[in-house]
Amino acid sequence: MLRKIAISIATITALSYSVTAHAESWFEVEVFVFERQNPSVEKWLEASPPTLANNTVDMITPVISTDITGVASALTGCTSTDWASDTSNCDDPKVSNNIASHPSEVPVSIGAATPQSAFLGQGTVLLAQSQGQFQDIIRTISREPYVKSLVHLTWQQNMQSRRLAKPVRIFGGKDYSKTFDYYGLSVNKPADTSMSVSMGDYGTLGGFYEAPKVKPVWELDGSINIYLNHYLYIENNLALRKPTQKMIESTPAAFNEYAALEIEGKKQLAPFLQSIPLIQNRRVRSGELHYFDHPQLGIVMQIRKMAQPTSVKPIDLTGYTPQGQPMPYSS
């Protein structure tokens, strides 16, 4: 019965999309971002880090993050599936939220594990590295002196108007969260007490130990928004973060932390993570290779025409094996 219902839903969905398929306009996008590390005396005006829109699509975090829920809390935890079937392997019912870990530096090459293709009505699709076409370009640029590769990825998206378009999150490089917050201010690193709690002593914490959650502060961060308005447009809203020093209002705690030189009794020279912005909007043509130049950053982009998707994504028949046989059910 479940299988028949799923097939019926898939048929109805396919018919509904066949009517509106002409409204979808899919393109393939490839991006390579690199840093110019050659010495520069250029002074940058103080700028805030990029503000990300609520509808920004993040395809990188799922690739680089690791679920460490059990390790971080020293518990197995319970998922909604566990509660519906068997809770015998759950050490504590309060542990249900996933805790993710991220690397100290983002890999340059970001891609899906296997080749992908878009379906009608689907959101942005990250492609495998083998589906990119910038290999020769990246090798050529990487051989230049004072160049550091930051991130390279390829995806497919249905181009929308500017009002409906969803920006794509782009980040890479080092994570500065141990020393700076997102706005560039130095942070006082608290003593690491997590290791002082024995794996078997979590009961002293009320039966639940919540690991600290610190959002990464990436060396490169921001978004790229591509939209269609008779022509294709690319909006870059990126920033390169670099450690420097800045005069800030002093407090006794901050003065002791930084051991900085106090000037006029109110300000002091302290570590600061500077944001160097790259904000550009350009009308482009598909198929052409586009280069966005900047004293500290370089972006190579290409928007390519692609075969338009003709079918909807198959529905996952929950409760069935890939062969279509019912899975064992335990009550």
What is the mean pLDDT of each successive set of 10 residues along the chain, which is 331 residues long?
48 46 85 88 76 95 79 50 45 52 94 96 96 97 95 97 96 96 81 39 40 81 96 96 84 52 66 93 96 93 96 72 41 38
Largest Cα separation within the chain, whole Å, is 79
The phi and psi torsions of 54 (rounded to 5 degrees) equal -65, -25
In this prediction, residue 80 carries a pLDDT of 45
Phi and psi (nearest 5°) for 215? -75, 140
DSSP letters spanning 81-122: HHHHS--TT-S-TT--S--EE--SEE-SB--BSS-----TT-
Q: Are 157 and 177 in contact (CB under 8 A)?
A: no
Tokens 């066949």 correspond to: 18
Distance CA 82, CA 331 (A): 12
pTM, rounded to two decimals: 0.73
Of the candidates 58, 65, 63, 64, which has an alpha carbon nearest to the alpha carbon of residue 124? Answer: 58
Helix H segments across the chain? 2-20, 61-64, 69-73, 80-84, 135-142, 252-258
Q: What angle do CA 160, 306, 9 make, to 5 degrees?
A: 70
Give the up-direction half-sphere exposure of residue 110: CA atoms within 13 A in the CB hemisphere: 30
Residue 91: exposure state from Cβ atoms within 10 A (0-12, 13-18, ≥19): middle
Q: Which residue has the tokens 């509106």?
A: 20
Work out the angle at residue 143's Cα, subtended by the Cα atoms of residues 138 and 149, and round it to the nearest 5 degrees. Answer: 50
